[in-house]
Amino acid sequence: MTITGASPRTAAKPARPGYGTLTVLIPAHNEEDQIAAVIASVRNQTRPADEIVVIADNCADRTVPLARALGVTVVETQGNKHKKAGALNQVLNSILPHASDQDRILVMDADSYLDADFVAVASAWLTGDGSKIFGGIGGTFRGRRDGQRPARGIRRLLHWWVETVQCNEYARYGRDVDRKRGRVLVLTGTATLFNVAALRAVVAARRAGRLPCANPGAAEVYDTNVLTEDNELTLALLHLGWKVRSPRGCTLSTEVMPTWRDLYLQRLRWKRGAMENLGQYGLTKVTAKYWGYQILTFLGVVVTSAYLGSIALGLILDRGIQLRPLWLGITLIFMAERAVTVRARGWRQMLLALALIPEMAFDVFLQATHAKALADSLLGRSRHW
């Protein structure tokens, strides 16, 4: 593949028969602490990449020289104001015109580390008949703690708490995807291997007005007007008839948010972006189940509010906590579900889940964030990322 504006690079290896070439795109903004480990995880794949491209987006640290010293292609964005989506579009605009339909493009975050068989497993799904069916193969991810921890006290406890509940959440996500045989709602930005033919189809459909696009005359792969470009691209592929999967074996680790504030801002963007993406596409055969999940989430907020409200009311009226059979039964079921679904992380995490309160507080936090995202979207409040 040809990438204009790139720094000198090592010669690409010949494509393996039946695979086409594999190019890895790593958009990075000030990732000097992790860029070497990310590149190493790609180079350690059992199915090697033909080229690794670090897309340095408005970096003010040593990401660029470190990546160049490791011998990968480095592309520095020019005038990009659209963050990750804009950075990827600049490089994809250069790649797609020269790529063949047998080529593959892996897009991954600069805080994601691939397990060794990720590319081999994903590539197998995008060869043969799969190349005409699947638009993208994504990964399931484990939480990874990378940041510095406070030395002691309440700050250290809060830091441990927010990281632990995220790791448990991701373990449940991976378990759920595995039980559904790789069927997922979104190809996450952590790591996804894309079919070049599918990406070209998205650009053509945007240009023809069949998919959302602010400027059809300058249609690109990623919609830069949305908060969650990965979710929107998944909807675009599905509406064009392509399938998506996150099969067993496509695994990786990704950094968790180090503070509650960081987590709040991340999830507020995710949840609001997902709702606005559904607003873009409306109610269709593809989006019907997504709307269904939004309704279920809203009902979850209502049920949790009723549960906590009944406890609070009892305390206010000096009745204490009434162990009513209905709520006691719901509590026991919830405790069992919490423990069983983190079994892969070991008995300590199962005990934490059984304690209920730490994870219930996290669930209430997520539901409150969802309610805030819904209110912001309905009221048209300013969007920030």
Q: Does the pLDDT at position 4 exceed 70?
A: no
Instruction: Provide the mean pLDDT of the chain.
Output: 88
| Residue 95 within a domain | yes
Looking up residue 244, the CATH number of its domain turns out to be: 3.90.550.10
pLDDT digits (tens, 9 = 90+) for 122-179: 999 998 887 889 999 999 999 998 767 766 788 888 889 999 999 999 999 999 999 9
The reply to whether 75 and 212 lie within a common domain is yes
- Phi and psi, residue 160, nearest 5°: -60, -40
Q: Give the pLDDT of residue 353.
A: 86
> Higher confidence at residue 306 or residue 43?
43
The reply to whether 85 and 232 lie within a common domain is yes
Using 50, 70 and 90 to split pLDDT, how confident is the model at 244?
Answer: very high
| Residue 384 within a domain | no
Q: Measured at the alpha carbon of residue 267, what is the angle toward residues 266 and 269, in degrees to the nearest 5?
A: 70
pLDDT digits (tens, 9 = 90+) for 213-240: 878 888 999 999 999 999 999 999 999 9
| Residue 67 within a domain | yes
What would the 3-class secondary structure string for 229-293 be? HHHHHHHHHHHCCCEEECCCCCEEEEECCCCHHHHHHHHHHHHHHHHHHHHHHCCCCCCHHHHHH
Q: Does the pLDDT at position 269 exceed 50?
A: yes
Q: What whole-number distance in Å separates Cα of residue 77 and Cα of residue 56? A: 6
> Higher confidence at residue 87 or residue 377?
87
Within 10 angstroms of residue 317's Cβ, the number of other Cβ atoms is 8
| Residue 284 within a domain | no
| Residue 266 within a domain | no
286-308 CB burial, b ≥16 within 10 A, e <16: bbeebeeebeebeeebeebeebe
Using 50, 70 and 90 to split pLDDT, how confident is the model at 275?
Answer: very high
Q: Which domain holds residue 148?
A: 22-258
Domain stops at, among 204, 235, 258 = 258
The reply to whether 226 and 157 lie within a common domain is yes
Q: Does the pLDDT at position 327 exceed 80?
A: no
The reply to whether 90 and 186 lie within a common domain is yes
| Residue 251 within a domain | yes
Whether 159 contacts 258, CB under 8 Å? yes
The structural domain count of the chain equals: 2
Edge-to-edge strand list for the sheet holding 73-76: 73-76, 51-56, 22-28, 104-108, 191-195, 134-138, 243-245
> Higher confidence at residue 336 or residue 264?
264
The reply to whether 161 and 38 lie within a common domain is yes
pLDDT digits (tens, 9 = 90+) for 342-357: 999 998 899 888 888 8
The reply to whether 313 and 204 lie within a common domain is no
Edge-to-edge strand list for the sheet holding 140-144: 112-114, 251-255, 140-144
